[in-house]
Structure 1
Amino acid sequence: MKVAAFITDQELLDSMKLDDEPAFARLFNRYWEPLCVAAAKRLGQVPDVQDIVQEIMKTVWEKRHALHTNEDGSLEGYLFTLLKYAIIDTISRDSKMEVRKNVFQQFVSLQESSVFEGLITKELDAAIQEEISGMPQNMKKVILLSRSYNYSIPEIAIQLSLSEQTVKNLLSQALKRLKTRVSHYYRHLPASHADTAFIIIGCSILGF
């Protein structure tokens, strides 16, 4: 009996770029279990794990025309990098829920002060948008892709043809600029209150 030849990730990707859905299904089946196993070791929640891997594979299909394999012709490194950031995002999101609860409690107590009435205002939103508009092009693209389109760092790196470290640096610099802008907006308040304001703005406007 003739054994079917092994099809490489590169060959599957080439076919996917021609909208070959069976090729995608083959790639999906090749990596579904290893990705789920790796995610389950970190998260231990089967429903969440399956959702995460499903989103990763959806991303691969949607961005197939911009993807490239490693030197060995494999997509494994890219897929597991996406998984790493998806796990970080999941853990971070769970943590942020607790942060938001604490921030909301602070916000409720601060609302009694006239200074915090209408905290999230159109004026502040305009100031934030103005700050983003004034950023260097790559920095602006990074913050918009991250916060408006929910791209991961690897996805942004591919989209902008930058290294992941450069994307991380630009994102960090952008957030520092936004924090400075928000702090300036609340400059008449104690520093701790300005930090609280930034967290609230981050959760509500920047999508933290």
Structure 2
Amino acid sequence: MEHFSDLALLEQIKASDHFAFDVLFDRYWEKLYKTAYARLGDDVIAQDIVQEIFIKIWQRRESLSINTSLENYLHGAVRLSVISHFRSQQATDVKMQDALERINLLEDSIEAIADYIELEKTLEEAVNNMPEMLKKVYMLRSDNLSVKAIAGELGLADQTVKNYIAEATRRLRIVIAEKYPEKHLTYTALLLPLLLHK
């Protein structure tokens, strides 16, 4: 069964096959953990997030419907869970609290993960069209580097990095508003962690 395709494993899991689930877990746990850890820098929280994703898959196995590749689905689930982790941090601003509530509404449904994967593709295209330095700053910030760390790596002043982050976010907001007019407030909330300067 270790050589089964992801699709075949999913079919077995839907039939409550524990061994198929174990194979799936072994196949993706390390990759997902590395994705979570790269964004959080916290070993325990990264492990908890990945564990919770697999628990949800097992709990929802009978109704599970994935319209993308399983690997994309799982990585999308990790990224959404990392974003929702910010909900546990105390909000000091009413607008921030409102944005985090929108993230909360978005992050717990299977459909949301598929939507999020589509959104990520849209944002990736937009980022690739940005000027090189703007793109570098955005990518480093997306990997959860602090403003000071980005400034040190790129040889920029802290304020310059903050300006680049604000400009990249402004451009992405425009793209989101144009492509997803009905959901742009919710999707824009997903950019919130980029703006939490530290």
Q: TM-score, normalised by structure 1?
A: 0.47
User: Which structure has the bigger radius of gyration?
Assistant: 1
Q: TM-score, normalised by structure 2?
A: 0.49
